[in-house]
Amino acid sequence: MQFVYREWANYKKANGVPLAFGDSVLPAIEKMNVEKAKKIIVMSQVLKNEVLKNYKVPDEKVEVIYSGVNCDEFSPDNRKLYNSGIRKKLGIEENDIVLLFVGNPYNRKGLEYAVRALPLINEKRVKLLVMGKDLGDEKIANYQALAKKIGVGDKLVYGGFTNEIKKYFSVGDIFVFPTLYEPFGLVITEAMASGMPDVVSRCAGAAELIEDGKEGMLLDNPKNHKEIAEKINYLIDNNLFRKMGKAARAKAETFTWDRTTQQMLSVMEEAAEMKRRKIKY
């Protein structure tokens, strides 16, 4: 399950997001499939908890298998290849510390709170680089206006959408992702593979892979911009972001797609054997 449709609809309702047709139809289909399945594979404990909450299934029926990450494509070595060129293209100085934000819709990913944290960051050479694209009313211009209003308009840099995102990961020093709801969040592990520590919400599925204070900093309340700034200041003021970035890379290297594939095959074989032997929970 990439995500749980019923929980996704609950998130939309709680945050005033209009429901689409599928949000009311798909949960019924999902329920039927969950009941029929011998095994359910989810990509995080967050998702497993949602399945157990929404559907009365045994705990052992739901298996957590974390998504892999391409550590060849996303690598600290990319910094040597692309960093200077991308910085020059975006008007970012070589000695600027770049906080990287990747994703959309901006509201669910918590961009507002990352922007609001900027005035509280001690380091004056910091830039927030946003990579993503406008969706409906979610336009980068809204956040640029906010940044200007609170006196940090010069610190927000918009890189737009690109099919070569690995090049832009090479520019980042710290990955900032105060998402409000994230079943997994592949960008989190891509940042780790690129050698960046994450400042990320605990509610994100991929945050389960991060040891707080070792490979990154976990946010208890992603809407609290003061907490975001506090975590970023801790990394910069104590010159820890490089050290944590190396630890993040080492952790990412243990979550390969080969590992994920083998784990999935093992669960599928178990499910097939259960069906053959007509085993039920």
Phi/psi-derived region of residue 139, left when phi > 0, alpha when psi is between -120 and 50, beta in every other case: beta
Domain 78-252, architecture per CATH = 3-Layer(aba) Sandwich (3.40)
The per-residue pLDDT for range 18-38, each reduced to its tens digit, is: 555 555 566 677 777 778 888
CA distance 126 to 111: 16
pLDDT score recorded for residue 23:
55
pLDDT score recorded for residue 1:
44
Q: With a cut of 50, which residues of the chain have pLDDT below it?
A: 1-3, 5
pLDDT score recorded for residue 3:
47
pLDDT score recorded for residue 20:
56
**140-149 residues labelled b (16+ CB within 10 A) or e (exposed):** bebbbebbee
- Residue whose token pair is 């694209």: 133
pLDDT score recorded for residue 2:
45
The domain limits of the chain are 5-68+256-276, 78-252
Count of CB atoms within 10 A of residue 165's CB?
17
Q: Beta strand 156-160 with 216-219: parallel, antiparallel or unpaired? A: unpaired
